[in-house]
């Protein structure tokens, strides 16, 4: 899956966003990866991610599931997905991961130059890079870019363009605040990598330019 590679949005916001995956390799280090992933996730909780999810539960950190229950669900092969909002946070997190040295693959998605800086500052030697060469085909059929900046945070396409428009309408009619709307948009993503903090910033810009056609 390359579900974090094609995120769209304002570059100033993308520059601050880092998606981090903890990913055991099938047939290579699955066995015994459960306790390692659990230790890593425990550590992630202390680093202030903007969102996080483990593949064994598929509910993001805003669903109110107790931390103990989430950690308990982790077994061999579990993958952990998270997103961070600040360079310093991802840097500290990666430094901790290096220190713990669990041997599980770590991916960071973000603006290449920013990730490169983080790697250089930590003395890391990244192994492989995945580049996005953009969208092809009938791009005229896509929702507009201002909606895609929300929907592409979930590369699996679980965040519906209509849901984004719906929360905009509900903000404008006073039924939701920006944060509540952002959590609604984040909920369908089964990987927990929709960043509600970024959604708040984008909604601030977007809400005034949309009109309400029904209450």
Contacts to another protein from residues 154-183, by CB under 8 A: 155-163, 165-166
Q: By C-alpha distance, which of 148, 104, 101 is closest to 7?
A: 148
With contact defined as beta carbons under 8 Å apart, do 200 and 190 qualify? Answer: no
Shortest distance, position 204 Cβ to another protein, whole Å:
21
172-to-175, 202, 212 alpha-carbon distances in Å: 8, 14, 7
With binding defined as CB under 8 A, does residue 124 bind another protein?
yes
Element (H, E) at 84: strand 80-84
Q: Which residues from 38-57 bind another protein, rule CB under 8 A?
A: 55
With contact defined as beta carbons under 8 Å apart, do 47 and 119 qualify? Answer: no
CA angle 91, 189, 32 (to 5 degrees): 60
Shortest distance, position 192 Cβ to another protein, whole Å:
11
Q: What are phi and psi of 165, to 5 degrees?
A: -65, -35
With binding defined as CB under 8 A, does residue 132 bind another protein?
yes
The number of residues that bind another protein (CB under 8 A) is 78
Q: Token pair of 200, please?
A: 């708040």
Shortest distance, position 51 Cβ to another protein, whole Å:
15
With binding defined as CB under 8 A, does residue 12 bind another protein?
no
With binding defined as CB under 8 A, does residue 36 bind another protein?
no
Q: Which residues from 57-116 bind another protein, rule CB under 8 A?
A: 58, 94, 97-98, 101, 103-113, 115-116
Q: Which is nearer to another protein, 191 or 197 (CB)?
A: 191
Shortest distance, position 163 Cβ to another protein, whole Å:
4
Q: By C-alpha distance, which of 208, 207, 205, 187 is closest to 196?
A: 187
Binder of another protein out of 26, 64, 66, 215 (CB under 8 A): 26
Tokens 């920006």 correspond to what residue? 178
Binder of another protein out of 129, 209, 211, 215 (CB under 8 A): 129
With binding defined as CB under 8 A, does residue 5 bind another protein?
yes
Shortest distance, position 200 Cβ to another protein, whole Å:
19
With binding defined as CB under 8 A, does residue 215 bind another protein?
no
With contact defined as beta carbons under 8 Å apart, do 18 and 109 qualify? Answer: yes
Shortest distance, position 205 Cβ to another protein, whole Å:
19
What does the alpha-carbon distance between residue 49 and residue 52 come to, in Å, rounded to a whole number? 7
């Amino acid at each position: 899956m390359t579900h974090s590679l094609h995120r769209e949005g304002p570059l100033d916001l993308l520059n601050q966003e880092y998606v981090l995956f903890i990913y055991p390799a099938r047939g290579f280090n699955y066995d015994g990866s459960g306790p390692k992933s659990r230790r890593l996730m425990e550590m992630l909780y202390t680093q202030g991610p903007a969102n996080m999810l483990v593949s064994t539960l598929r509910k993001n950190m805003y669903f109110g599931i107790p931390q103990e229950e989430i950690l308990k669900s982790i077994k061999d092969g579990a993958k952990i997905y998270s997103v961070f909002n600040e360079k310093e946070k991802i840097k500290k997190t990666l430094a901790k991961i290096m220190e713990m040295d669990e041997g599980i693959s770590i991916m960071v998605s973000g603006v290449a130059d920013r990730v490169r800086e983080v790697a250089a500052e930590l003395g890391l030697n990244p192994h492989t890079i995945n580049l996005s060469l953009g969208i092809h085909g009938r791009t005229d059929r896509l929702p507009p870019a201002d909606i895609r900046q929300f929907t592409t945070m979930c590369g699996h396409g679980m965040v519906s363009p209509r849901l984004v428009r719906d929360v905009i309408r509900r903000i404008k009619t006073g039924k939701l605040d920006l944060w509540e709307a952002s959590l609604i948009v984040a909920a369908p993503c089964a990987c927990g990598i929709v960043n509600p903090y970024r959604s708040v910033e984008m909604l601030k810009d977007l809400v005034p330019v949309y009109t309400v056609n029904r209450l």
